[in-house]
Structure 1
Amino acid sequence: MDKRQLGRSELFVSKMGLGCMSLGKEESRAKSLIDEAIELGINYFDTADLYDFGLNEEFIGRAIQNRRQELILATKAGNRWEEGKDGWTWDPSKSHIHKAVKDSLRRLGTDYIDLYQLHGGTIEDPIDETIEAFEELKKDGLIREYGISSIRPNVIKEYLEKSSIVSIMMQYSLADRRPEEWFPLVEEHGVRVIARGPLAKGILSERGLDQAGDRIKEKGYMNYSFEELAELRDSIKNAAPGHSYTEAALQYCLASPAVAAVIPGASKIAQLQQNAEAVNAEPLNEGEIALLQQISKAGQYEQHRV
C-alpha cells in the first residue's frame, strides 16, 4: 500500500490507516484485525487513551510488540479519566499531558509514540501551555511528532500559527465536505489532514442505507435528510460508474493533496479487506471528482470560526 508523508516530518503513513476505536473488547478478535491490517500493507494505527479507558491501547501494544519498529503508532490525550470511574473531563494542561503520555507508553508497551495528538481542544484552552507540553515530549524523545484532532477552525488556526504540528485529524467525507474550506491554509503550513469517518458511518459504503441506524433514518446525516442521502448515493453511482461506493468515497478523500490518509474503522476482517481494496483501486479522474463535487454539498463550519 502506498505511503504518504505527514507534513514535513519523517513519518510516512499508509494511505489507509486503521482507526482502532472499533476493535472491541475481545482481545483475540482485535489481534486478528491488527494482524490482517499489517498483512494488507497498513502501517498506521490510530488509537486514544480514552478508547475503552485504556484497554484499546493495551490490546494494540500486545498485538504489535514484535513488529513495533515497522509501524506508525498514533494515540491521543486530553480526556482525563480515572480507573474504575465512569466519564471523563477535558484537561489539556501540561501536567496532564505529561502524565497521560507515560500511561499510554506503559499500556502500549513501547518507549516512544510516533504521533501524539490532542484529542479535541477549545479556543479557551491554555494553548501555549499545551504546545509547550508537546514540544517538551518531542525534545525528550517520548514522541516523534504531534498533531491535533479537531474540526474547530479557530483552534486549527491557532495550532497552525503557533505550533509545529504535522497533522490534523478531521471528520471528512463526501457527505461532510466542510474541511475543504480550510485545506489551502493547512497546506500552506505544510501540515496534512487525516480523514476520519470517510465512509460517513457506512452511508457511503456497500452496506446500503437500509442498514443505517435509527438516528440516521430519522434525522439524516450532517445537513442531509435521509431522503437526500439516498439521492446522494444514486448520484455518486452516476458520477463514478466504474467505482464501488466505498471506492468512490475513499478515493475522493485521497484525491486532495491536503489528505495524507483515511482511517475508516473496521470491526470485521471483511470490512478491512474491502476498505483496503478500495484505497488501492484506480484513482478518480478529474472529471469524476468535479461531478462528485457538483452533486454533494460543500458546507461550512458555522461555529468556532473566530
Structure 2
Amino acid sequence: MAQDDKVGTIDLGQGLQVTGQGFGSMSLSGPYGPAEDDESLRTLNHVIDRGVTFLDTANIYGEGHNESLLSRVLKTRRDEVTLATKAGIVRPKNPGDPRANGDPAFIKKCLDESLQRLGVDEVDLYYYHRVDSRVPIEETVGAYAELVQAGKVKHIGLSEVTSNELRRAHQVHPITAIQMEYSIFSRDIERWLLPAASELGVGLVPYASLGRGYFTGQVDSLEQLEASDIRHNFPRFEPTSMERNLRLRKVIETVAEREEFTTAQVALNWVYEQADRHDVAVAPIPGTRFRAHFDDNLEALDIRLSEQSMNELNALAAQVDGERQRDIYSVSKGREEQQMAKM
C-alpha cells in the first residue's frame, strides 16, 4: 500500500523528525478491553503502510506485552519506524506507595529490559514516564543522558512534567519532547508548560486527545465498560460527571456536524490548531484497535476548523466536571499549581 503524502514530517525537537501524527499502541494491550494479537499486528502494519511511523509504547503497557507485540513488527520494519518508549511508572504492592521510580539504576535496568523485549539496540525517544518526587529530576535525567552517551537512546522525553521540572531537566540534557494529556477538556498545560516548551524548542506529544473515547461517542456510561477497563479509574467517567459533561460533548458534536467532520477529527484538529497558537511543534498519538478508526483520525491532518468552531470549543474546558486524574499530583496539574503558588 502506498504511503500518504499528507502525513508529512515535522521537527519535534532537537532535530528528531517524526510524522505529523503518531500512533499510541497502548490500546493493543487490553486497557480498554481485549485485543487479539494477530489483529493488532494487522493494525500496526496498516498504520505504517499509511505513512504514520511514529510509534509510541511503554514498558508498563500490558506489563511488557506491548513492547513484545511491537517487536514482531520491528523485526522487518525497524528502519521505517521512529520508536518511543518509557520508564518510571511502577505498580506498588501496597496502596499509597509511590507509583513512580526515578532512581537512575532503575531507569537503566528498565531500558535494558525494554530493548530486549523490543528486539532493538536503540530507541529513538525515551521518556521519563512519571516524575518521582523523591529523586531530583536532575539525577534521573542525568541517567537518561548517560544512556544517550552509551548509544542506547537518541533523544530524551518527559511525560507529565511541570514547567519548572522541564527547565531543570533541560539544563542537564536537551529535552526533545514532552508527552502530556491535552484535549478540548484538558488544557491545564497551556498556562505555564507550553510557554516553557516553546521557549526551549521542546515538542509536544499529546495523549488522550479524544477524551479516552468520550468525544467519539463510544462511552456514555460506566455500564458500557468492562470491569477491567481503566476508564473506571478516571473521575470524568464517574456517573455524575459523565452526565454533566454530556452537554459539553453535544457542542463537539454540533461543531462536527456543521463542519462536516467526525468528532474525532474535530478533537484532533483542535489540538493541531491550539499547538500552533502556542508555537509548539506537535504530533498527537491517538491510539485504537481498529483500522477504520485510525483512518478516520488520520484525516484530521487534512482539515481546518473555523474560528467560530475554535471559539466554541475553547469555552468548554472551564465547564468540565471532574479532574483528569484521580491523583492530580501524579500528573503535572497538581504539582504545577503547587509550585506556582510558592513563587
What band does the TM-score fall into relative to the shorter chain? 0.7 to 0.9
Counterparts of residues 43-54 of structure 1 (less than 5 Å): 43-54=53-64
* Residues 1:189 and 2:200 are matched in the alignment: yes
- TM-score normalised by L of structure 1: 0.86
Match of 2:285 in 1: 263
Q: Which residues in structure 2 correspond to 1:122-141 (within 5 Å)?
A: 122-141=132-151
Partner of 1:3: 9
- Distance, in Å, in 2 between the alignment partners of 1:161 and 1:286 is 38
Task: Please list, as runs of the form range in 1=range in 2, the aligned pairs for 1:227-266 lying within 5 A after superposition.
Answer: 227-239=243-255, 241-242=258-259, 243-255=261-273, 256-257=275-276, 258-266=280-288
Structure 1 pair 121–285 and aligned structure 2 pair: CA distance change class (3 A)? same
The alignment partner of 1:75 has SS state of: strand
Aligned residue number for residue 328 of structure 2: none
Offset of residue 73 of structure 1: 0.3
Runs of 4+ in structure 1 off by over 6 angstroms are: 298-301
Q: Structure 1 residues 141 and 33, CA, compared in 2 at 3 Å: closer, same or farther?
A: same
Q: Which residue of 2 aligns with 1:22?
A: 27
The 5 Å alignment of 1:84-233 reads 90-181=100-191, 182-207=193-218, 209=220, 213=224, 220-221=236-237, 225-233=241-249
Distance 2:63 2:21 in 1: 25
Alignment CA distance shift 1:153-1:184 (3 Å): closer
1:54-82 C-alpha deviation (Å, 9 max, x unpaired): 12111101112111111100000123579
The Cα shift of 1:226 comes to: 2.4
Separation in structure 2 between the aligned mates of residue 8 and residue 286 of structure 1, nearest angstrom: 32
More divergent stretch after superposition (242-251 vs 261-270): 261-270
Q: Kindly state the Cα deviation for residue 122 of structure 1 after the two structures are TM-superposed.
A: 3.3
The secondary structure found in structure 2 opposite 1:303 is helix
Cα deviation 1:25-45 (Å, max 9, x = unaligned)? 643122111111112211011
* Identical aligned residues as a percent: 28
What's the CA shift for 1:298?
A: 8.2
Distance in 1 of aligned mates of 2:209 and 2:147: 30
1:292 aligns with 313
Cα offset, 1:161, TM superposition: 4.7
Change (3 A) 1:284 1:34: same
Structure 1 runs not aligned, ≥5 long: none
Question: Hey, what's the Cα distance between the residues in 1 that align with 2:311 and 2:290?
Answer: 33
Deviation, 1:123, is 3.7
Distance (whole Å) between structure 2 residues aligned to residue 198 and residue 247 of structure 1:
10
In the alignment, the residues of structure 2 paired with residue 70 and residue 35 of structure 1 have an alpha-carbon distance, to the nearest angstrom, of 11
Give the Cα separation in 1 of the matches to 2:112 and 2:334.
34
CA-CA distance at 1:211 after TM superposition: 8.0
What residue in structure 2 maps to residue 73 of structure 1?
Answer: 83
CA RMSD of aligned residues (A): 2.9
Residue type at the aligned position of 2:17 = F
**1:98-150 alpha-carbon deviations (Å, 9 max, x no partner):** 22212111111111100001110134323222111111111221111010111
Flag the structure with higher helix content: 2
Aligned length: 298
Equivalent position amino acid for 2:297 in 1: N
The residue that corresponds to 1:274 in the other structure is 296
- TM (norm. structure 2) is 0.78
In the alignment, residue 168 of structure 1 is paired with which amino acid?
I
* Structure 1 letter corresponding to 2:26: M
Structure 2: stretches of 5+ with no match in the other structure: 1-6, 30-34, 226-230, 324-331
2:3 aligns with none
